[in-house]
Structure 1
């Protein structure tokens, strides 16, 4: 018989994750994401750094933009634990795609959840598509 397992990520609950500072949160993500966060903090990845500062400023003000969604073009931004529960509008090249941040998305990139290409499911061939379908009656 299985017992109820609370929602945990690497041993942390959702509330514990939200309280983590960036330095301790870097230990929870993979090395590639760790490097991207480190570069943003050093000022080498300017766009990502601006996004981190923008989110902090909006959280301090308790702005209504947090409910509407924070617009960003920065698809390569690594999702941080302090962003859990926020809504981002990520630009995919044509429109703004909403991305709700949950515990499972921490450590991934924003662009992974805003697809740039639309999945197209094609139907079967139509009339005139092949040589044999030319002579099929329309009615």
Structure 2
């Protein structure tokens, strides 16, 4: 029962997409990343991201940049329900 006082070390979830871990996904170029996507997402990226999705990505980058280290970033509010999740969005809060 002496071990009951020692808290277990928490293991964090390892993010991966189609067998590729998050670190490798973040290092990939957009062209390499698009090859992993299903057909609908590939088609959407091929046609180009419009102004609103790009604005959302900019806001998410800004919120992450302004967050103190070790803290969660501020939630970013949006109406974009059909936005394709890209690896740089991981860790952001969208409301």
Report the TM-score, using the length of structure 2 for normalisation. 0.62
* Alignment equivalent of 1:67, drawn from 60, 64, 73: 73
- Higher strand fraction (1 or 2): 1
Partner of 2:60: 55
Partner of 1:31: 39
Give SS of 2:94's match. strand
Deviation at 1:10, TM superposition (A): 2.3
Report the TM-score, using the length of structure 1 for normalisation. 0.46
Structure 1 runs not aligned, ≥5 long: 1-5, 90-139
Root-mean-square deviation (CA), in Å?
A: 2.3
Deviation at 1:47, TM superposition (A): 1.4
Residue 22 (structure 1) aligned with residue 8 (structure 2):
no
Paired residues, number: 77
Give SS of 1:88's match. coil
